[in-house]
Amino acid sequence: MEPKIAKKGPYVMDMKPGKYYWCSCGHTETQPFCDGSHERLGAGMTPVETEIKNPKTVAWCGCRRTAKPPFCDGAHNKL
Ligand code: FES
């Protein structure tokens, strides 16, 4: 199963320090973070754990085609 293209662009968000679980399957309803949908769908994909150490603005990949998950690398521009 290919990951779903949830958005052809990043989710740009101001993040607080903490651990985050970016959805790699694209099916979550709490974009861009995992809501467990991958288990229900049997998508064969699991979330990517990321620790944000300092407050910062993050561009989370929305298209799920990035080569640098969980972050946007501009791959959406080629879709
Ligand atoms: S819902 Fe997509 S990886 Fe969990």
pLDDT digits (tens, 9 = 90+) for 51-67: 999 999 999 999 999 99
Sequence-distant (6+) residues with CB within 8 A of 67 are 73, 75
Give the single-character DSSP code of 3: P
Task: Kindly state if the Cβ of 6 falls inside 6 Å of ligand 1.
Answer: no
pLDDT digits (tens, 9 = 90+) for 15-34: 999 999 999 999 999 999 99
Map out the domains of the chain as residue ranges. Answer: 11-71
pLDDT value at position 43? 77
Average pLDDT over residues 65-76: 98
Interatomic CA distance for residues 34 and 46, integer angstroms: 8
Q: Which of 5, 7, 27 to mutate to test the pocket of ligand 1 (most atoms within 8 A of CB)?
A: 27
CA-nearest residue, atom 4 of ligand 1? 34
Task: Kindly state if the Cβ of 45 falls inside 6 Å of ligand 1.
Answer: yes
Average pLDDT over residues 29-41: 96
- The reported pTM is 0.95
pLDDT value at position 62? 98
